[in-house]
């Protein structure tokens, strides 16, 4: 139980550090300005950290952003090592977080269904 909360604290710290790096340090033009770290999962042995990224732009930007972050992995890991006082610095693995996009898509679908439903209701009321 104690180990779990430590890993969570480390994940939160990694999230802060990587968010700051993306906003202020990394100058790669392929990294979308609208990039955010949605959440971080670090393995129990602290060897790897999955960093979930979301961009509020089109699909090609997402792929380019992930590619650019993977290119900067060495620099990001070095910066993590400076800030985290750990024996091993976890290897960052960047993944695209599609949950926000899926949420927006689902909201639009629900909206569409509700509109169609109310139109159908009006037609039935007219009969």
* Neighbour order of strands in the sheet with 35-42: 35-42, 48-55, 91-96
Q: Say whether domain 2-96 belongs to CATH 3.30.300.20.
A: yes
pLDDT digits (tens, 9 = 90+) for 71-98: 999 999 999 999 998 888 999 999 998 8
Please state the pTM of the whole predicted model: 0.77
pLDDT tens readout for residues 53-68: 998 776 667 888 999 9
Q: Identify how many contiguous H helices and E strands the chain contains and give both numbers.
A: 4, 3
Q: Are 84 and 10 in contact (CB under 8 A)?
A: yes
Domain ranges of the chain: 2-96, 99-127
Angle formed at CA 23 by CA 14 and CA 10, multiple of 5 degrees: 5
């Amino acid at each position: 139980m104690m180990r779990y909360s430590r890993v969570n604290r480390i994940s939160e710290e990694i999230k802060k550090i990587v968010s700051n790096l993306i906003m202020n340090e990394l100058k790669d033009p392929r990294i979308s300005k609208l990039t955010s770290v949605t959440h971080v999962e670090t393995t129990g042995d602290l060897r790897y950290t999955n960093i979930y990224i979301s961009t509020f732009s089109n699909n090609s930007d997402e792929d380019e952003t992930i590619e650019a972050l993977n290119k900067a992995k060495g620099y990001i890991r070095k910066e993590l090592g400076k800030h985290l006082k750990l024996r091993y610095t976890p290897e960052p693995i960047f993944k695209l977080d599609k949950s926000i996009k899926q949420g927006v898509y689902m909201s639009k679908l629900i909206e569409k269904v509700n509109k169609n439903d109310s139109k159908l209701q009006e037609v039935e009321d007219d009969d």
